[in-house]
Structure 1
Amino acid sequence: MKGIHVLLTYSLVLGLAMAVGSCSSSNASQIQEEPIPELVSYNFDIRPILSDKCSACHGPDANKREAGLRLDDSVTVFKALKEHPNAYALVPGKPELSEVFLRITTDDTTKMMPPKASHLKLSAREVDLIEKWIKQGAKYEKHWAFVAPKKPALPEVDQKEWVKNEIDYFVLHKMEQKDLSPNEEADKERLLKRVALDLNGLPPSLSQMDRFLADKSPKAYEKMVDELLRNPSYGEKMAVYWLDLARYADSHGYQDDGYRTQWPWRDWVIHALNKNMPYSQFVTWQLAGDLVPTTNPAQAKEQLLATGFNRNHKITEEGGVIQEEYRVSYVADRSDLFGKAFLGVTMECARCHDHKYDPITQKDYYQTFAFFNNVKEVGIESVIGGPETYAKKPLMEISNEDVKGILKFINKQDTSRLIVSVMSDLDTARVSTILKRGNYDAPGDVVLPAMPSVILPFAKNLPKNRLGLSKWLFDRNNPLTSRVFVNQMWQEFFGKGIVKTAGDFGMQGELPTNPELLDWLAVDFMEHGWNIKRLVKQMVMSATYRQSAKMSPEKLAKDPENIYLSRSSRSRINAEFVRDVVLSSSGLLVPMIGGPSVKPYQPPGLWEGATSGRGLLSMYVQDHGASLYRRGMYTLIKRTVPPPTMSIFDASNRDVCEVRRLKTNTPLQALVMMNDPTVLEASRVLAAKLLQENNQVSDKINKAFRMIVCRKPTEKEMGILTAYYSKELKKINLKQANKLLAVGEYPIPNQIDKQLLAALMRVVNTIYNLEETITRT
Structure 2
Amino acid sequence: MYRSILTLLIATIVWYGQSCTMHSSNQAEEEALPDKISYNFDIRPILSDKCLACHGPDANKRKAGLRLDDPESAFKILKEHPGAHALVAGKPELSEVFLRISSQDTSALMPPVNSGLKLNAREIKLIEKWIKQGATYEKHWAFVAPKKPELPEIDNEDWPRNEIDYFILAKQEQKGLSPNEEADKERLLRRLSLDLTGLPPSLELMEQFMADKSDNAYEKAVDQLLKNPAYGEKMAVHWLDLARYADSHGYQDDGYRTQWPWRDWVIHAYNTNMHYNDFVTWQLAGDFLKSPNGWSGPGTASKEQMLATGFNRNHKITEEGGVIPEEYRIGYVTDRTDLFGKGLLGVTMECAHCHDHKYDPFSQKEYYRLFAFFNNVKEIGIESVIGGPDTYAKKPLMEICDEDVKNILSFVNKRDTNKLIVSVMTDLDTTRKTFLLKRGAYDAPGDEVQPGTPSSILPFNESYPKNRLGLTKWMFDPKNPLTARVYVNQLWQQFFGKGIVKTAGDFGMQGELPTHPELLDWLAVDFREHGWDIKRLVKQMVTSATYRQSAVITPEKLQTDPDNKYLARGPRYRVDAEFVRDLVLSSSGLLNRQIGGPSVKPYQPPGLWEGATSGRGLLSMYVQDHGPKLYRRGMYTLIKRTVPPPSMAIFDASNRDLCEVRRLKTNTPLQALIMLNDPTVLEASRVLAAKLLEEKTGIDDKISKAFQLIVSRKPKEKEVSVLSAYYDKELKGLDKSRAEKALAVGEYPIPKKVDKVQLAALMRIVSTIYNLEETITKS
SS of the equivalent of 1:297 reads coil
Cα distance change of structure 1 residues 622 and 254 upon mapping to structure 2, 3 Å threshold: same
SS of the equivalent of 1:397 reads strand
- Spell out the pairing of 1:440-519 with structure 2 (5 A cutoff): 440-519=442-521
Query: Which of these residues, 718, 721, 737, is aligned with residue 719 of structure 1?
Result: 721
SS of the equivalent of 1:335 reads helix
Query: 1:326 aligns to what?
Result: 328
Say if 2:64 is the partner of 1:58: no
Query: 1:751 aligns to what?
Result: 753
Say if 2:615 is the partner of 1:618: no
Is the Cα contact below 8 Å between 1:498 and 1:513 reproduced in 2? Answer: yes
Query: Which amino acid in 2 is paired with 1:464?
Result: K
Say if 2:180 is the partner of 1:183: yes
- Spell out the pairing of 1:386-465 with structure 2 (5 A cutoff): 386-465=388-467
Structure 1 residue ranges without an equivalent (≥5): 1-15
Deviation of 1:297 after TM superposition, in Å, equals 3.3
SS of the equivalent of 1:85 reads strand
Query: Which of these residues, 7, 25, 29, is aligned with residue 26 of structure 2?
Result: 29
- Spell out the pairing of 1:559-598 with structure 2 (5 A cutoff): 559-598=561-600
Query: 2:218 aligns to what?
Result: 221
- Give percent identity, aligned residues only: 75
Q: In structure 1, how many angstroms separate the alpha carbons of the residues matched to 2:569 and 2:386?
A: 53
Query: 2:343 aligns to what?
Result: 341
Query: 2:677 aligns to what?
Result: 675
Deviation of 1:38 after TM superposition, in Å, equals 1.2
Deviations 1:453-507 (A, max 9, x none): 1101101101000000000000011000000000000000001000000000000
SS of the equivalent of 2:288 reads coil
Bigger mean CA offset, 177-186 vs 646-655 = 177-186
Query: 1:206 aligns to what?
Result: 203
Query: 2:658 aligns to what?
Result: 656
Bigger mean CA offset, 67-76 vs 710-719 = 67-76
Is the Cα contact below 8 Å between 1:244 and 1:652 reproduced in 2? Answer: yes
Query: Which amino acid in 1 is paired with 2:216?
Result: K
Query: Which of these residues, 690, 701, 704, is aligned with residue 702 of structure 1?
Result: 704
Query: Which of these residues, 27, 31, 40, is aligned with residue 43 of structure 1?
Result: 40
Query: Which amino acid in 1 is paired with 2:268?
Result: H
Q: In structure 2, how many angstroms separate the alpha carbons of the residues matched to 1:56 and 1:17?
A: 29
Is the Cα contact below 8 Å between 1:26 and 1:558 reproduced in 2? Answer: no
Query: 1:140 aligns to what?
Result: 137
Query: 1:7 aligns to what?
Result: none
Deviation of 1:111 after TM superposition, in Å, equals 2.4
Deviation of 1:77 after TM superposition, in Å, equals 1.6
Query: Which amino acid in 1 is paired with 2:157?
Result: K
Bigger mean CA offset, 24-33 vs 439-448 = 24-33
Cα distance change of structure 1 residues 667 and 756 upon mapping to structure 2, 3 Å threshold: same
Deviation of 1:27 after TM superposition, in Å, equals 2.9
Q: In structure 2, how many angstroms separate the alpha carbons of the residues matched to 1:696 and 1:22?
A: 53
Query: 1:119 aligns to what?
Result: 116
Q: In structure 1, how many angstroms separate the alpha carbons of the residues matched to 2:664 and 2:356?
A: 29
Query: 1:268 aligns to what?
Result: 265
The number of aligned residues is: 762
Deviation of 1:17 after TM superposition, in Å, equals 11
Query: 1:96 aligns to what?
Result: 93
Query: 1:68 aligns to what?
Result: 65
Cα distance change of structure 1 residues 284 and 18 upon mapping to structure 2, 3 Å threshold: farther
Deviation of 1:23 after TM superposition, in Å, equals 6.1
Q: In structure 2, how many angstroms separate the alpha carbons of the residues matched to 1:764 and 1:22?
A: 44
SS of the equivalent of 2:316 reads coil
Query: 2:80 aligns to what?
Result: 83
Deviation of 1:26 after TM superposition, in Å, equals 4.4
Q: In structure 2, how many angstroms separate the alpha carbons of the residues matched to 1:749 and 1:377?
A: 55
Cα distance change of structure 1 residues 176 and 396 upon mapping to structure 2, 3 Å threshold: same
Query: Which amino acid in 2 is paired with 1:364?
Result: E
Cα distance change of structure 1 residues 221 and 682 upon mapping to structure 2, 3 Å threshold: same
Deviations 1:43-68 (A, max 9, x none): 00110111111111111111211111
Deviation of 1:153 after TM superposition, in Å, equals 0.6
Deviation of 1:104 after TM superposition, in Å, equals 1.2
Deviation of 1:22 after TM superposition, in Å, equals 8.1
Say if 2:544 is the partner of 1:547: no
Query: 2:524 aligns to what?
Result: 522
Deviation of 1:622 after TM superposition, in Å, equals 0.1
Query: Which of these residues, 589, 602, 606, is aligned with residue 604 of structure 1?
Result: 606
Is the Cα contact below 8 Å between 1:92 and 1:138 reproduced in 2? Answer: yes
Query: 1:636 aligns to what?
Result: 638
Q: In structure 2, how many angstroms separate the alpha carbons of the residues matched to 1:453 and 1:270?
A: 35
SS of the equivalent of 2:398 reads strand
Deviations 1:554-595 (A, max 9, x none): 111211111111100110000000000000000000000000
Cα distance change of structure 1 residues 99 and 22 upon mapping to structure 2, 3 Å threshold: closer
Q: In structure 2, how many angstroms separate the alpha carbons of the residues matched to 1:110 and 1:635?
A: 62
Deviations 1:243-287 (A, max 9, x none): 000000000001000000100000000000000000000000000
CA RMSD of aligned residues (A): 1.3
Deviation of 1:20 after TM superposition, in Å, equals 7.6
Deviation of 1:25 after TM superposition, in Å, equals 5.1
Query: Which amino acid in 1 is paired with 2:158?
Result: E
Query: Which amino acid in 2 is paired with 1:59?
Result: G
SS of the equivalent of 1:747 reads coil
Q: In structure 1, how many angstroms separate the alpha carbons of the residues matched to 2:661 and 2:293?
A: 34
Deviation of 1:776 after TM superposition, in Å, equals 0.1
Deviation of 1:620 after TM superposition, in Å, equals 0.2
Give the TM-score normalised by structure 1: 0.97
Query: Which amino acid in 1 is paired with 2:720?
Result: M
Q: In structure 1, how many angstroms separate the alpha carbons of the residues matched to 2:110 and 2:257?
A: 57
Q: In structure 1, how many angstroms separate the alpha carbons of the residues matched to 2:486 and 2:252?
A: 34
Q: In structure 2, how many angstroms separate the alpha carbons of the residues matched to 1:379 and 1:18?
A: 59
Cα distance change of structure 1 residues 264 and 26 upon mapping to structure 2, 3 Å threshold: farther
Query: Which of these residues, 372, 375, 388, is aligned with residue 373 of structure 1?
Result: 375
SS of the equivalent of 2:85 reads coil
Structure 2 residue ranges without an equivalent (≥5): 1-12, 296-300
Cα distance change of structure 1 residues 747 and 23 upon mapping to structure 2, 3 Å threshold: farther
Cα distance change of structure 1 residues 754 and 19 upon mapping to structure 2, 3 Å threshold: farther
SS of the equivalent of 1:162 reads coil
Is the Cα contact below 8 Å between 1:19 and 1:556 reproduced in 2? Answer: no
Query: Which of these residues, 719, 736, 739, is aligned with residue 737 of structure 1?
Result: 739
Query: 1:315 aligns to what?
Result: 317
Q: In structure 1, how many angstroms separate the alpha carbons of the residues matched to 2:134 and 2:720?
A: 67
Query: Which amino acid in 1 is paired with 2:368?
Result: Y
Bigger mean CA offset, 281-290 vs 159-168 = 159-168
Give the TM-score normalised by structure 2: 0.97
Query: 2:298 aligns to what?
Result: none
Say if 2:173 is the partner of 1:171: no
Q: In structure 2, how many angstroms separate the alpha carbons of the residues matched to 1:234 and 1:148?
A: 31
